[in-house]
């Protein structure tokens, strides 16, 4: 099957309108391209729930707080189109930046609360850029369902919040993080790692697992996080931006494990910033075990 490439929103809207007249359910998978199995997992999940799937490809300048990062972001549209066609996506919507943000564009969607702290602290303006582009893509596609990865966990909560607040009629579907065989969360940025860095990178996920175990074993959260940060640096990462335990839904800070939680991390390996996160179950497994005994 071939995937049509659409660049103009009016063309996209008329295709979607025709689908709607046929009573078809439409899903969107927003991406910045350089597609990997994590993205393709979202496309497959979308195809399982909808009749028509639009993959969007837009390297959104508004969400880059660093011009070098934007310039270095991989752009592989031809390969991306070749990857999604066999999976069965119907449209690759790849608008130009000048059409998304024409001269005079003056609106910013800004979500408070969940966007504060974590990546919000270290990438000023990033989540305003994300919220603005996601709002546009949801309105442009008019999709019934939109698929996002848990890999970008804070982003996922921001999208849920804006959809709720702005009454956008779309169901947000979250998909688990897809990992390489050695545990490294797949990311378009992984291609920037040197061989030596790539060999070290899976330690980040291992340390999340280890830290989650420590928290689950009843260790103080502060102690477990300090040990985790030290372990990341000892593994050869140059800087830990954050390693935090937050409530699973609203990302509130938590100091003791008293509700379902997430460990979230951002750390630099050489010139590459990696993020990852892991669910920390609650009640603690042995607490459940003891209660049942
Ligand atoms: P990006 O192209 O990095 O902006 O990501 C587009 C979508 O793919 C977002 O919803 C991401 O959370 C999701 N995504 C990226 N990497 C992964 C992964 N390893 N597993 C699951 N979803 C992912």
Ligand 1 midpoint to CA 257 (Å) = 28
pLDDT at 2 (0 to 100):
80
For all residues of the chain together, what is the average pLDDT? 96
Measured from CB, residues less than 6 Å from any atom of ligand 1 are 31-32, 38-39, 41-42, 148-149, 151-152, 175, 177-178, 185-188
The string over 111-145, giving b where at least 16 C-beta atoms fall within 10 Å of a residue's C-beta and e elsewhere, is beebbebbbbeebeebbbbbbbbbbbbbebbbbbb
* Residue in this structure with the two tokens 């005994």, named with its chain if needed: 293
Whether 130 shows a pLDDT value over 90: the answer reads yes
Residue 177 CA, closest ligand 1 atom number? 20
Query: Strands 26-31, 145-149: parallel, antiparallel or unpaired by DSSP?
Result: parallel
* Residue in this structure with the two tokens 């934007």, named with its chain if needed: 70
Whether 292 shows a pLDDT value over 90: the answer reads no
Residues 30/129, Cβ–Cβ less than 8 Å: no
User: In which order are the strands placed within the sheet that holds 272-280?
Assistant: 239-247, 261-269, 272-280
pLDDT at 293 (0 to 100):
56
Q: Peptide bond preceding 283: is omega within 30 degrees of 0, i.e. cis?
A: yes
Q: To 5 degrees, how large is the angle CA 180–CA 4–CA 190?
A: 20
Ligand 1 midpoint to CA 3 (Å) = 20
Whether 287 shows a pLDDT value over 70: the answer reads no
Round to whole Å and give the CA distance between 244 and 118: 8
Helical (H) or strand (E) element with 22 = none
Nearest CA residue ID for atom 12, ligand 1 = 149
Local confidence band at 65 (pLDDT 50, 70, 90 cut-offs): confident
Residue 187 CA, closest ligand 1 atom number? 16
Q: What is the pLDDT of residues 235-274, one digit of tens each?
A: 999 999 999 999 998 999 999 999 999 999 999 999 999 9
Nearest CA residue ID for atom 13, ligand 1 = 149
Could you give the residue numbers annotated as active site?
Answer: 39
Whether 291 shows a pLDDT value over 90: the answer reads no
In this prediction the pTM is: 0.97
Residue 155 CA, closest ligand 1 atom number? 12
* Side-chain-facing half-sphere of 219: CA atoms under 13 Å: 16
Region 211-221: mean pLDDT is 94
| Most informative mutation of 30, 37, 39, 157 for ligand 1 (most atoms within 8 A of CB) | 39
Residue 34 CA, closest ligand 1 atom number? 2
Ligand 1 midpoint to CA 283 (Å) = 29
**Within 10 Å of residue 265's Cβ, how many Cβ atoms?**
25
Q: Encoding tokens for residue 174?
A: 């979250």
């Amino acid at each position: 099957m071939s995937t049509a490439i659409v660049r103009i929103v009016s063309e996209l809207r008329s295709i979607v309108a025709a689908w709607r007249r046929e009573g078809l359910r439409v899903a969107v998978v927003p991406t910045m391209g350089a597609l990997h199995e994590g993205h393709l997992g979202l496309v497959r999940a979308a195809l399982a729930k909808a009749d028509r799937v639009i993959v969007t490809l837009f390297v959104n300048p508004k969400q880059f707080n660093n011009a070098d990062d934007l310039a270095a972001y991989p752009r592989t549209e031809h390969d991306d189109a070749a990857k999604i066609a066999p999976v069965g996506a119907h449209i690759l919507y790849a608008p130009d930046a000048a059409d998304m943000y024409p001269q005079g564009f003056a609106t910013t969607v800004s979500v408070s609360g969940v966007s504060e702290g974590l990546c919000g602290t270290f990438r000023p303006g990033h989540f305003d850029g994300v919220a603005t582009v996601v709002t546009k893509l949801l309105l442009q596609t008019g999709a019934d369902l939109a698929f996002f990865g848990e890999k970008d966990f804070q982003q996922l909560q921001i999208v849920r919040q804006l959809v709720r607040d702005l009454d956008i009629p779309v169901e947000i579907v979250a998909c688990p993080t897809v990992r390489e065989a050695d545990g490294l969360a797949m990311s378009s940025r992984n291609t920037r790692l040197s061989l030596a860095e790539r060999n070290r990178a899976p330690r980040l996920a291992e340390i999340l697992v280890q830290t989650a175990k420590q928290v689950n074993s009843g260790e103080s959260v502060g102690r477990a996080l300090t040990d985790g940060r030290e372990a990341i640096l000892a593994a050869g990462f140059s800087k830990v931006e954050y390693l935090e335990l937050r409530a699973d839904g609203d990302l509130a800070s938590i100091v003791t494990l008293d509700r379902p939680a997430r460990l979230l991390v951002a750390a630099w390996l050489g010139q590459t910033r990696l993020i990852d996160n892991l669910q920390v179950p609650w009640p603690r497994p042995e607490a459940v075990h003891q209660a049942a005994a």
